[in-house]
Amino acid sequence: MTEIRNIAIIAHVDHGKTTLVDRMLHQVKLFRENQDIGELILDNNDLERERGITILSKNVSIRYKETKINIIDTPGHSDFGGEVERVLNMADGVLLIVDAFEGPMPQTRFVLQKALELGLKPIVVVNKVDKPNCTPDIAQEKVFDLMFSLDATEEQLDFPTVYGSAKAGWMGPDWKEEAQDISHLLDVILEHIPPASHKEGTLQMRITSLDYSSYTGRIAVGKITRGQLIPGSPVSLVKRDRSTVKSVAKEVYLFEGLGKEKTKEPVPSGEICAVLGLEGFDIGDTIADALEPEGLEPIRVDEPTMSMLFVANNSPFFGKDGKFVTSRQLRERLFKETEKNLALRVQETNSADSFLVFGRGILHLSILVETMRREGYEMQLGQPKVIIKEIDGVKNEPVEYLTVQVPEEFSGKVIEQVTQRKGEIINIDMKGDRAHLEFSIPARGIIGLRNQMLTATEGEAIMAHRFKGYEPWKGNLGVHRNGALISLETGTAIAYSIDKMQDRGRFFVDPGQDVYAGQVIGENTRQDDLTINIIRTKKLTNMRAAGSDDKTSIAPAIKFSLEEAMEYIRNDEYLEVTPKFMRIRKILLNEHDRKRQAKTLTDE
């Protein structure tokens, strides 16, 4: 019987996880010599490739020295913590990858804490040792300090360290001597990660993630913790509320290399597998024995910290480039997402065409929006809001740890930006000519902070944040956005009009773009909103001055990314998202309605 090792890979964003998995797959000659498979094999979702981040966890396996190693790739962003927590339940050990220059980062801490709580044994990989000015020894010490501060056990603190460069394709015991390949790392895994335990008894398998196939429907993925699973046998599903449902495990697949292979043999405990043919299961349910079902503890995931209103698109341009535009289609898609996205909640509101969606942060919600717009959905989004809880009669809000790395001369500007948003300084460190600043800041203070921070530091700031906990309400933030420039009429933006209005503010639309009445087309130089007409053309006369008509020179329009636009909008605005366009609009498109609403608010 083959020995099995289940190992999860954890690291901060961009420290080289997915590249290292590529190297492992090449090391065991999983591909033919002439097979071109490209880089970053595991980031197989378009969005992951574009952004260079891992969003969904993946399973692959390699065979090395008669042992099967199941590798689970996990996301590094704390917004996808829901993914990380469930996946770690399948592992017996973790590979912690740290950049030799940056050392452990705030997001590393988040995932590592979850792994240590589950009692997993870590192996530390100090990656990118070929970077100029890097300090692998200091990075390794920092990891030790981090584990110590996370209350790691004696056994966990006695971790082995491997040095190398995944990109250059080598790993060895010493960073000063380059090795031939990464076999040293695989040997360390076999030596230090405990083999998957074989527990006798009735079947128990917790469903930790979902796969989907257009032919067979939903597929349950998880690790068998006790007993064995026989393909084609009757099983019971134990739900969260401890009720049981009879079902049949029609087909069972094992992870081999990058794919799945169907098996007819009983699958032993300790192995990770995918089960087809089950009906009505959810993540966290247990697949148990048909006659004597015993459920495992369901998975507990951290609460969402942010909410956002999703509304069916009702702008004057709705349905022009999306396939799915009705509120029924929007509702179905959002509820379908909650089946596999554990940290996401959807709640219906009093209005039939709007839904409240709760998530872990702006990035978590924006990935959902981006995925939906690529599938052909149109929707409107309200301003993101943090979730406020009442604890012992006191109003509490989510607070985050924020770390900023910035050249020393900009540190004053950064501190000013953060303290203005009710942030408090925890620690200031110097790394060479860079300041490493740590703050505690309300989650609402982070909304819209990145843009201002990058402007103030000439694009040099590196920001990262993670959830700290709920603390009493910190009062109003001292930040205000300038007013909006709003289009008066529907039509095509004319260069002549935009040119004449440039002293009013900065524009978001280019000449020749279609706009509608009530659309936000720019930012005013003052605090109040201003309605302007950019559809007016030049009055023609029979007097012509040679060349004077061509002299319009217009500043380029500001283009937002999805996250920037989500952070930019105010509470009286929606962000309209369609497969091809993003437009900011006032909720009330008619100017008279807006004035009437403003009047009633001031009267109250």
Which of 10, 27, 187, 172 is closest to 95 using CA atoms? Answer: 10
The pair of structure tokens assigned to 560 is: 């937002």
Which of 251, 208, 256 is closest to 232 using CA atoms? Answer: 251
Q: Say if residue 65 carries a ligand binding annotation.
A: no
Q: Say if residue 130 carries a ligand binding annotation.
A: yes
Name the phi and psi angles at 267, rounded to 5.
-95, 125
Beta bridge partners of 283: none
Exposure on the CB side of residue 342, measured as CA atoms within 13 A:
24
Query: Side chain identity at 188, as an amino acid letter?
Result: V
Measured between alpha carbons, how far is 465 from 456 in angstroms, rounded to an integer? 19
3-state secondary structure of 333: helix
Q: Do 41 and 105 meet the contact criterion of CB atoms below 8 Å apart? A: no
Q: What is the DSSP string of 62-79?
A: EEETTEEEEEEE---SGG
Q: What is the DSSP string of 509-531?
A: S-TT-EE-TTEEEEEESSSS-EE
Classify residue 29 by burial, with Cβ atoms within 10 Å: 0-12, 13-18, 19+: exposed
Q: Say if residue 389 carries a ligand binding annotation.
A: no
Q: Say if residue 18 carries a ligand binding annotation.
A: yes
Q: Say if residue 202 carries a ligand binding annotation.
A: no
Q: Say if residue 14 carries a ligand binding annotation.
A: yes
Q: Say if residue 128 carries a ligand binding annotation.
A: yes
Buried b (16+ CB within 10 A) or exposed e, 356-366: bbbbbbbbbbb
Which of 370, 512, 496, 384 is closest to 447 using CA atoms? Answer: 384
Q: Is the dihedral of CA 503, 509, 515, 517 positive or negative?
A: negative
Q: Which helix (H) or strand (E) holds 374?
A: helix 362-374
Q: Do 361 and 306 meet the contact criterion of CB atoms below 8 Å apart? A: yes
Q: Provide the terminal-to-terminal Cα distance of the chain, rounded to the nearest Å.
A: 76
Q: How many CB atoms lie within 10 A of CB 341?
A: 21
Q: Do 508 and 522 meet the contact criterion of CB atoms below 8 Å apart? A: yes
Measured between alpha carbons, how far is 471 from 399 in angstroms, rounded to an integer? 6
Q: Do 335 and 50 meet the contact criterion of CB atoms below 8 Å apart? A: no
Query: Side chain identity at 27, as an amino acid letter?
Result: Q
Q: Say if residue 16 carries a ligand binding annotation.
A: yes
The pair of structure tokens assigned to 125 is: 């990989």
Binding positions are 14-19, 127-130
Binding positions for GTP are 14-19, 127-130
